[in-house]
Structure formats: C-alpha cells, structure tokens
Structure 1
Amino acid sequence: MYRVFETIKVVDGKPQNLFYHQKRINWTFHNYYKINPSFSIEKISAGLTFPDGINRLKIIYDPSNVEIQISPYNRKRVDYFYIVELDHLDYRFKYENRQILEQYCKADYGEPIFLINGFITDTTFSNLAFFDGHKWWTPSTYLLWGTKRELLIDSNKINVSEMRLSDLGCFKKFCLINSMNEVDEFSFRIDSIRY
C-alpha cells in the first residue's frame, strides 16, 4: 500500500483548516488502511515551530509512521489547461505516489483537467470552482475529496453542480482550490482551457 499525505497551509505559525484535514485522515484510516486513526494533527502541529509567512506543512503517513516536512509555499506555475478524457481514474486517497495523475502531465506548464465519463472533475493538484458572474460553482464529480472544497461548500462560498465540457461556456473564469489556495485566489480565464 502507498503512503498518503496531507498538505496543510500555515499562516504566521497557525495551521489552517485542521478540522477538515483530520476528517480526511480519519476517513483514510478507516477506508484505506481499515484501522482506527493513529494520530492527531492538532497535537502534531502544536509541537512544531514555523517560519513567518505562508508555509506548507506536509504530513506523510501510513499506520506505522508519520513524517513531517515544513517548507515555504511556492505556487505552481500554470500557463494553460487541457482536457484529458477518461472512463475511470481512482484517486480517492491522497497517495504519496502520484504517478497515477502525473502520467497525464506534459513537460511544459500545462495542467490537465480530468473529464471522467463526460463530467469535469479535478486537476492533478486541485479541485475546481467556476464563476458565472454571480456565484462560484464546483463540480459534483471530483477525484479527491478536497478539504478546502468541503470547507467552502459548508460555508456557502461555493455551490455544487454537475458539469460537463459543454457547460464551460456558461462561466467567465475558474479557479484552482486546494489547502493552499482560497476561492478566486488562483484564477484563470475560461479560454485558458484548450479543447
């Protein structure tokens, strides 16, 4: 079995969104490792010292080991997007080995958007949200249950809807959401998607 990981945003020494990260850790232990969770990220992070600014806390784990990495956050460069159409892609768990996703990446700064059975899902490192001029919408289909996506849905900052490729013309822009990025913080014009 692969190890899995969590990436947690830390702002001026304060880890963000721990409730949802712990929820996903607990779910992963129950559904992937088939055992009860063995650690609390609140307890782990309380014993750590972070530099000022925005940092990335990466917790890599399996049932017998927890590894901690702290690094400054550097946003990934993305110049354009392209559609990858598949019938199936299983990335329910946040595997440390990301070859299942990265095999679809190109050598330049393009980023795939996965279309599974005709429905828009995610990129290799984020969930998606689309803006129609009034509201933000996230696809009801996704590869990975995102902690930030869940928080934004629960706080009514984004809405959920089925999305097909033909629906993209209804939107003005879209953004990448993950633990490190807020809604509309890492956004792009719709015509940056090539299809």
Structure 2
Amino acid sequence: MQPSDLLLETIKCEGGEVHHLEYHQKRLDKSRRELFGLTDTLDLSSLIKAPDEKLYRCRVLYSHTMESVEFIPYRPKEIKTLKVVPSDFTYHYKFADRSALERLLEENPEADDVIIEKEGLITDTTIANIAFFDGKTWITPREPLLKGTMRAYLLDQGFLQEKDIPSDSLERYEKVALMNAMLGFKILSHINILKS
C-alpha cells in the first residue's frame, strides 16, 4: 500500500463529542466499496473516542484496513482572500495525498485559498465546500470536487440548495460561506474574491 493510496476522514471532536460520525461512516463505507469492492465495515464509533473537552481534528487514515487514528489540536485558517482558478483536477474520493491541491495554493500565493473552477463552473476550495447566498437561499455547487460531510448534513436539513454556479455569476451573490467538518458552516466577512 502506497501512502498515495490512503484515504482520509477528518472528524471534529469537541466538548467530549465526536461530530457527525454517521456521515463520515457513510462516506468511508462508500469509498471502500467503490474503490476496493469491500462490503465489511470499519466501525468508526468503536475506534474514535474524543480524548477530552478540547477541539481536535481527528485524522483517520484507511484503505482496505484502518491505518491510523490521531487527534490534532485544531486552529482554523483565516480566509480573507479567495481566487477563482481554472483546473481539471478531480477529487471524488478523499485521498490523503493532497499534493495537487497544495500545488494550486503554491501557484497562487496572493490568495488564502483558491476556488476551483471546472468548465466554467464553481466547485470547491482546496479545504472546503463552498456556498453563496442569493438573498433568499444558500446555494452550493451541484458538482463539487468532493461531497463533504457537512455539505451532506446541510443538504439533508434543507438549509442548502444545489445548483450550477457559473464563475462569471459570483457578483450576483450577497455572501459566501465555507463548510467542512471542522469549520461547520462559516460565513466569510470582508472577503475579497480575485479572478485569474
């Protein structure tokens, strides 16, 4: 097993609780079934217990079997500038190898993160799914790079609507938010969006 073949789940542990574990379990099971043809379950609930009340990023590495579980104190990255960057990058499964995503960041040092555009449509940033507020509804791209667990939860709650978002339509939206397991749903204030 090469390190590049490992898959990753990033799970929020805070207040002694493990958050949205059922969504992470569902994605883990789906990835192992589709990539390796496996139908057994690596039961996350028996493997992950919050170490204490503090905020941790629980980093789970797996493939056919569970490789490692570690708890890392979490400090969110501050995002003030996003840049729309065209790319044909695909990331349907949450692989631990993020070198292609990190390269996009290195190539665009003027931005805190990049919004990846595919065929004229917005997908995700390198660290999160994205949503835009049109004055009535929060809209998230119909075809993200990766279907995140927080995105899935908010869609199930009816809080988000899926829609194609052309990159040339961003000025129509009033607000932008990032979402992932660790951030939750974070509305960005005073955000500057650059174009390539």
Q: Is the Cα contact below 8 Å between 1:122 and 1:142 reproduced in 2?
A: yes
Report what 1:126 is aligned to.
128
Report what 2:193 is aligned to.
193
- How many residue pairs get matched? 190
Alpha-carbon distance between aligned partners in 1 of 2:143 and 2:189, rounded to the nearest angstrom: 20
Q: Is the Cα contact below 8 Å between 1:25 and 1:37 reproduced in 2?
A: no
Gaps in structure 1 of 5+ consecutive residues: none
Q: Percent identity?
A: 27
Deviation at 1:101, TM superposition (A): 1.2
Alpha-carbon distance between aligned partners in 1 of 2:110 and 2:194, rounded to the nearest angstrom: 14
Report what 1:110 is aligned to.
112
Alpha-carbon distance between aligned partners in 2 of 1:162 and 1:108, rounded to the nearest angstrom: 27
Alpha-carbon distance between aligned partners in 2 of 1:133 and 1:35, rounded to the nearest angstrom: 44
4+ residue stretches of structure 1 with deviation over 6 A? none
Report what 1:63 is aligned to.
64
Matches within 5 A, 1:20-35: 20-35=23-38
Q: 1:44 to 1:187 in 2, by over 3 A?
A: same
Alpha-carbon distance between aligned partners in 2 of 1:22 and 1:15, rounded to the nearest angstrom: 12
Deviation at 1:99, TM superposition (A): 0.7
Q: Is the Cα contact below 8 Å between 2:122 and 2:166 reproduced in 1?
A: yes
Q: 1:193 to 1:109 in 2, by over 3 A?
A: closer
TM-score, length of structure 2 as denominator length: 0.90
Write the deviation string for residues 25-56 of structure 1: whole angstroms up to 9, x where unpaired.
Answer: 011101122222441111112xx341213221
Deviation at 1:135, TM superposition (A): 1.7
Alpha-carbon distance between aligned partners in 2 of 1:96 and 1:9, rounded to the nearest angstrom: 17
Report what 1:161 is aligned to.
163
Q: Is the Cα contact below 8 Å between 2:13 and 2:50 reproduced in 1?
A: no
Report what 2:6 is aligned to.
3
Secondary structure (helix, strand or coil) at the match of 1:122 reads strand
